[in-house]
Amino acid sequence: MSHLGIDYGSKLAGTTAIAYIKKDKIKVVQSVKNKDADAFILSVIEDTNPDKVFIDAPLSLPAAFYNKGDNYFYRDCDIKLKAMSPMFLGGLTARAMRLKSIITKKQTLVYETYPKALVNINTDLKPMYDKKSKDHIIPFCKLLKQEIPYSWTSLTNWHQVDAVLAWWSGYRHLKKEAIVIGNKQEGQIIY
């Protein structure tokens, strides 16, 4: 079974990164600035034909939008993980939900993940996950390579690191080792 990990960024910013297995190594590719990131993702999916996609982006809205509860800002999974509100992320959330609907029509399952939650459960990785500093990428990846049974070439930014973390969440899910937060009716985060 194959899967992709995606760090989902702004549509034209060149910050969307995708990680997947190719020839027994994790390959990481990144969108190009001023090019459509959603088209880039669909192109990679077309080329790799994964069974599952794990994306770092909200894929649902709070239950209040469906007349179930009164919290219009956060889903249960967001509250438990102290994640950003899907409403705060607005357009990114809408794009991710649209992208999920396109991908699932191709018989590929799409799951939401949150790299920070995965890092937070690992006491060795957590102190090095400082996205304000590029200087921490190399030492963070050195520690990360001790956790993941595949190698990869050097990662040059945190978007690429988060794509590998999204991929790792998928790997953990396939091995039945992942943690699932939230409920199916409103939305779940897998890490």
Q: Which H or E run contains 179?
A: none
Percent of the chain with pLDDT over 90: 98
d(CA 18, CA 85): 23
**Considering the chain, what is the average pLDDT of its residues?**
97
| pLDDT at residue 121 tops 90 | yes
Supply the pLDDT for residue 18: 98
Supply the pLDDT for residue 41: 98
d(CA 16, CA 5): 11
- Mark out the alpha helices in 56-157 (DSSP H runs): 76-81, 86-89, 91-104, 115-120, 137-144
Distance of CA 29 to the CA centre of its chain: 14
Q: What global pTM score does this model have? A: 0.97
Neighbours of 191 (CB within 10 A): 27
Rounded mean pLDDT, 85-114: 97
Domains of the chain: 3-190 (3.30.420)
Backbone angles phi, psi at 131, to 5 degrees: -75, 0
Residues 129 and 140: beta-carbon distance below 8 Å:
yes
- Could you identify the residue written with the tokens 């009164």? 70
Supply the pLDDT for residue 174: 97
Supply the pLDDT for residue 25: 97
Q: Which H or E run contains 33?
A: none
3-state SS assignment for residue 120: helix
**pLDDT tens digits, residue range 12-67?**
999 999 999 999 999 999 999 999 999 999 999 999 999 999 999 999 999 999 99
DSSP string for residues in 24-76 = TEEEEEE--TTS-HHHHHHHHHHHH--SEEEEES--S--GGGGTS-S-SS--H
Neighbours of 189 (CB within 10 A): 26
Rounded mean pLDDT, 152-172: 97
Supply the pLDDT for residue 1: 81
| pLDDT at residue 74 tops 90 | yes
Rounded mean pLDDT, 155-173: 98
